[in-house]
Amino acid sequence: MSDDKDYKFINEKIVQKKMHPVKKFFIGLIVVLFLGVVFGVTERIVFEVTGEVLPHFNLFKKNHSIELRKNEEVASGASIATESSVKEAKESKPETDKKQVKIIEKRVSADLSDYKQALSQFGKLANEQNQSVVEVQSVVKGKDWFENPYDAVNKAAGYIIAVQNDEAYILTDYKSIKSADNIKVKFKQGFLAEGIIKNYSANLELALVMVNLKGIAKKDDIEPLKFGGISYKSIGEPIMAIGNPNGNIYSVLPGVITGAETSLIEDDYSFDSQFTDIDIAKNGDAVFVDFDGNVVGIYYKGNQDVTQIINISKIMTLLEKMMNDEPLPYIGIKSKAFDGAEEKTGISGGVMVDSVTKGSPADDAGFKEGDIIYEMDGVHIENMSDYESFLESKKPKNKVKVLIYRVTRNEGKKIELEVEIGDSRGIK
């Protein structure tokens, strides 16, 4: 009898049959070749599709941004060219029509002939402007020590600002003609004519002389100055001074704007002004024009440290009044920058008096330095613009009630003053 053992139907091991090495090699080779074909076809399809679609997306475009920016700068004149630099910009076109566009950058050198040409153009413009400049001769009669009569002649530059109805209107310096017994005007066109004082503003030292042109053959050749431009100019813009900037009539000096716009306050009015590097002689005068021939402004004689230009915009309003024989309302105060002091005064805004002109209507009415004008005839005065507008609405000899705030002995109080409007034409 046999020993007890675990029962098994078949008592043997199953061993996996090994593949023949040659057969295994050929099967692997077939698999590799098949996968190569599949991946090759797939890759071709992908590149064909992406070649038509993906170039429309910025992500797949070639990075030409730097090169294009350079080319754009060359086209606009913003880049600095070197003499031998050559930049190529490839224009993206269908493969059937590919072309190369070459942009050649070159340095343009200037020589003395270019400088001479620029000076020639400046001289031409200066000559054109001088056609509107005249010589105003102020004749003062006198007697010498031996009681012999003589005529003293003072010469000043004048500027033709308008010609209408056979009358020429000439702007000139008031001080040079205010004592004249008679006035003669010598025109650039070669003739001499009698002139009369039409109007004046003693505060701004401006006078308007009128000349009758009837019977003068060359009157049609007279051209007034141009006032169509923008009076405010940016720093660095070129201008020229005409008239007699160096003390000689018909002299011309070039320069640029050197200072930003600022306020210039004369009696009762505020003017916009700028600065220039043009040096005006002590006995000189000037009107400033830009290189398009438009008047920028007039020379302000009250500043001896720098050359200050009163912008022509507001002066034009004054000149129109002078030409039309309209009065120039006048009180006689100078204001200064004032932001208001409502917390202390209880008053919104106002105009602070910086000084009072001696002998003026404001002086006679009792205005003082430091007074704050906040109401005139029931009209609230918030700032200098309100003050000017109110003054321009009045006529000489109108009486106006003015409310002011005055501080005395550290105590503020409201005071009512009455002032009679004057006329600046009456100031000598």
* Residue of 102, 79, 82, 78 whose CA lies nearest to 90: 102
CA 354 to chain centre: 29
Give the separation between CA 371 and CA 414, rounded to whole angstroms.
Answer: 10
Cα 96 to Cα 248: distance, rounded to the nearest angstrom: 72
- Give the per-residue pLDDT at 410: 78
Query: Measured between alpha carbons, how far is 131 from 206 in angstroms, rounded to an integer?
Result: 21
Question: Is the four-CA dihedral 48, 52, 56, 62 of positive or negative sign?
Answer: positive
The three-state secondary structure class of 243 is strand
Q: What is the pLDDT along the chain (428 residues), one digit of tens a residue?
A: 444 444 343 344 444 445 556 566 667 667 667 776 666 666 666 555 555 544 544 444 444 443 434 444 444 444 434 344 434 444 444 444 445 666 666 676 778 888 888 888 999 999 999 999 999 999 898 888 888 888 889 999 999 999 988 999 999 999 999 889 999 999 998 899 999 999 888 878 899 999 999 988 888 889 999 987 777 889 999 999 999 999 999 999 999 999 888 888 888 888 899 999 999 999 899 999 999 999 999 999 888 789 999 999 888 888 888 888 888 899 999 988 777 788 888 888 899 999 999 999 999 999 999 999 999 999 999 998 899 999 989 999 999 999 999 988 778 899 999 999 998 776 65
Six token digits for residue 109? 């050198």
CA 426 to chain CA centroid, Å, is: 35
Q: Any alpha helices (H) in 256-332, and if so which ranges?
A: 312-323
Contact status, residue 47 vs residue 54, Cβ threshold 8 Å: no
Q: Which residues of 99-237 form beta strands (DSSP E)?
A: 100-104, 133-143, 149-164, 167-173, 182-186, 192-201, 206-212
Residue type, 32: V
The rounded distance, in Å, linking the Cα atoms of 292 and 420 is 44
Q: Is 233 helix (H, G, I), strand (E, B) or coil?
A: coil
Distance CA 294, CA 135 (A): 21
pLDDT value of residue 364: 96
The first and second tokens of residue 249, run together, are 């009539």
End-to-end CA gap in the chain: 162
User: What six digits make up the tokens of 175?
Assistant: 């001080």
The residue behind tokens 């224009």 is 91
pLDDT of residue 25: 62
242 contacts 119 by C-beta, under 8 angstroms: no
C-alpha angle with apex 42: 36 to 47, nearest 5 degrees? Answer: 125
- How far apart (Å, rounded) are the C-alpha atoms in residues 175 and 156? 10
DSSP state, residue 169: E
* Token representation of residue 277: 């590097």
- Measured in whole angstroms, the distance separating CA 42 from the mean position of its chain's CA atoms is 67
Cα 98 to Cα 70, 90, 159: the distances in Å are 21, 9, 64
Q: How far apart are CA 88 and CA 78, in angstroms?
A: 18
Inter-residue contact 280 to 307 (CB < 8 Å): yes
pLDDT score recorded for residue 311: 92
Strands 86-90 and 100-104 come out as antiparallel
Task: Name residues whose C-beta falls within 8 Å of residue 58's C-beta, 6 or more positions apart in sequence.
Answer: none
* φ/ψ of residue 11, rounded to 5: -100, 75
Residues 267 and 335: their CA atoms lie apart, in Å, by 8
Which conformational region is residue 27 in: left (phi greater than 0), alpha (psi within -120 to 50 degrees), or beta?
Answer: alpha
Q: What is the pLDDT of residue 61?
A: 44
Q: Any idea what the Cα angle at residue 413 is, between residues 358 and 418, rounded to 5°?
A: 45
> What pLDDT is recorded for position 69?
44
Cβ burial 390-419 (10 Å sphere, 16+ → b, else e): bbeebebeeebebbbbbeeeeeeeeeebeb
- Return the pLDDT at 57: 44
